[in-house]
Amino acid sequence: MAEYLGKDFVNTTEVVDGNSYNTCSFNACTIIYRGGDIPTFSGCRLDRCVWQFEGPAERTLAFLKGIYSGMGPGARAMIEDLFQKIRTPFPGKKQ
């Protein structure tokens, strides 16, 4: 687990599992999450970045996609509800 404070990541690939980022900026980066320990981001900025999911994280997304596209309207509603929960900010966080 690495901790970064105020670092500028530019045009790089960053595997974020388990890391902590505070007031960092990411510009034109590929950000990879592999499904390990959840990274934390506080006061960070992302601009023109691409998310990439690998391993267990990628399989989880494939599983959710399969539910959404292959199990009918009730399953789609369940996934849409999940998206709404994702869109809801943590208490005390600005949008």
Q: Taking the domains of the chain in order of start, what are their residue ranges?
A: 1-53, 55-88
pTM more than 0.85: no
Q: Which residues make beta-bridge pairs with 31? A: 14, 51
What are the pLDDT digits (tens) for 41-74? 999 999 999 999 999 999 999 999 999 888 888 8
Angular region, 43: left φ>0, alpha ψ -120 to 50, beta rest: left
What are the pLDDT digits (tens) for 23-47? 999 999 999 999 999 999 999 999 9
Q: Would you state the pLDDT for residue 8? A: 98
Q: Average the pLDDT over 64-93 and give the result.
A: 86
